[in-house]
Amino acid sequence: MPSLKDLKNRIASVKATQKITKAMKMVAAAKLRRAQEAAEAARPYSQRMSAVLSNIAQAVGSDDSAPRLMTGNGRDETHLLVVCTAERGLCGGFNSQIARFARDHVRNLLAEGKAVKIICVGKKGFDILRREFASLIIDRVDLREVKKIGFENADQIGKKIIGLFEKDEFDVCTLFYSEFKSVISQVPTTLQLIPAAAPAEAVADTGAIYEYEPDAGEILSDLIPRNISVQVFRALLENVAGEMGAKMSAMDNATRNAGEMINKLTLSYNRQRQAQITKELIEIISGAEAL
């Protein structure tokens, strides 16, 4: 059984930890509001961008003017997975959910005989995936020094993806991230970037006839690379909001658990202290009666 001094030191240690987790919860709550606003503000733009591309793609169809980024190269042998996670931990199962989702996808592709390449955006996803797929990881994007995610960060990733496609390094590119729903709910999501997939929320064709200037193929050649960067930017913003929500929830649970542990340790301390006092009184009384 630990001594009174050990229990007292442990209570002090847990109280110090509780202060840290409580402070981290408050910091995450403050960052969550800004991150959630940024993620929600990016959704309409990225959805509308995809809808515009879908409508123009319908006009182009599958003719020769359609860019390769939209139609692909006609093959489905090599898949590039861009897995976006957080750079830091202490956010519950946020990173492991995305990594597990990507890992299952990799296993399915390998079982079908496909070749897989992985780009990890974020340290935590890289640490998890390299345990099993270290040989498949071709690049890692480090955003630890970035204080605030900006479009330029997503644009660099988008240009890197397009550069690999132009070199015929892959046939299909899929983006993995976590869509922010609420503080306690972040849903791992996939989005096919190349070939450009028609979004589920695309605007329905009204039957109107449009004339494009310049031609639709040239418009798509300019918009599709920009759309890839936009979709990556949205994924990064969704991840930041999800990370802060998960961290807030995890630190709240940690603070609550620390409080319960302090109560149990305090109860054990009081019981042992009372037992020690009782033992000393018994020894004093026994000594007095012996005299």
Secondary structure class of 12 (helix, strand, coil): helix
Within 8 A by CB and 6+ apart from 82, the residues are 118, 119, 121, 157, 161, 173, 174, 175, 176, 193, 232
Strands ordered across the beta sheet of 115-121 = 137-141, 115-121, 78-84, 172-182, 185-194
Answer yes or no: are the C-beta atoms of 91 and 247 closer than 8 Å. Answer: yes
From the candidates 84, 91, 120, 173, which is the catalytic residue?
A: 91
Answer yes or no: are the C-beta atoms of 78 and 117 closer than 8 Å. Answer: yes
Q: What angle do CA 5, 6, 11 make, to 5 degrees?
A: 95
Among this protein's residues, is 173 annotated catalytic?
A: no
Answer yes or no: are the C-beta atoms of 97 and 132 closer than 8 Å. Answer: no
Answer yes or no: are the C-beta atoms of 18 and 262 closer than 8 Å. Answer: yes
> Token pair 């955003």 is at which residue?
143
Looking at the annotation, which residues are catalytic? 91
